[in-house]
Each structure stands twice: as structure tokens, then as C-alpha cells.
Amino acid sequence: MRLHATIQGHVQGVGFRVFVQQYAANLKLTGWVRNTYRGDVEVLAEGSRAALEKLLLLLEAGPHSSHVIQVDREWSDASGEFHQFAIERTA
């Protein structure tokens, strides 16, 4: 499965990307996380539905220093194009 999520709120400058990368790696997910120029955080993750659901709960909570207002999500089939979970450049 593939999860594409956009997290809105106070989510930049608070360690959100590192938080996501660490949990995604622990959940054996592949893909990436990045800041956006709009001030959001964007996540594209692939793995089992159960692991992605756990990641989604973590995205909704965020690290302690963040304040998540909304998480937009889109589900699709995995492409298998990723081999690890990385922090990407802002887009």
C-alpha cells in the first residue's frame, strides 16, 4: 500500500521530518518526508496497510513541539520504487 499525506499546522522547525523518518524506518516503511514551501510537511510512504495506519496515527500526533491541525491523506497501490525512507529537500 501507499500513503500520501500532507500534515498542516505548526510542523516545520520542530523536528517533524526526523520524527517521521525514525518511526517509518522502525515500521519497515519506504518512501520520503519533506517540508513544503507552503509550510506543511508531506509524506509518501509504502509498506503494509497495518504499518501505514500506525504511521498515520503518529502523523496525527506529531512530536511534542509540533501542533498538527489537519492530515490530508490519499491511499493507493504501492509502486515499489523506494528502498529506504529518506528526508527529501523542500518542495
For the chain, list the domains and their CATH numbers. 2-87 (3.30.70.100)
Residue 17 appears among annotated catalytic residues? yes
In what helix (H) or strand (E) does residue 50 lie, and over which residues does it extend?
helix 49-61
Q: Which of 35, 49, 73, 89 is catalytic?
A: 35
The predicted pLDDT at position 86 comes to: 98
Residue 26 appears among annotated catalytic residues? no
Q: Which of 2, 17, 49, 89 is catalytic?
A: 17
C-alpha cell at 41: 510537511
User: Can you tell me the distance from the alpha carbon of 43 to that of 4, in angstroms, rounded to the nearest whole number?
Assistant: 6
User: Can you tell me the distance from the alpha carbon of 70 to that of 88, in angstroms, rounded to the nearest whole number?
Assistant: 21
Give the rounded percent of residues in the chain with a pLDDT score beyond 90.
Answer: 100
SS3 56: helix
Q: What are the tens digits of pLDDT across the range 9-44?
A: 999 999 999 999 999 999 999 999 999 999 999 999
Mean pLDDT of the 35-60 span: 98
Tell me how crowded residue 25 is: count the other CB atoms within 10 A of its CB. 13
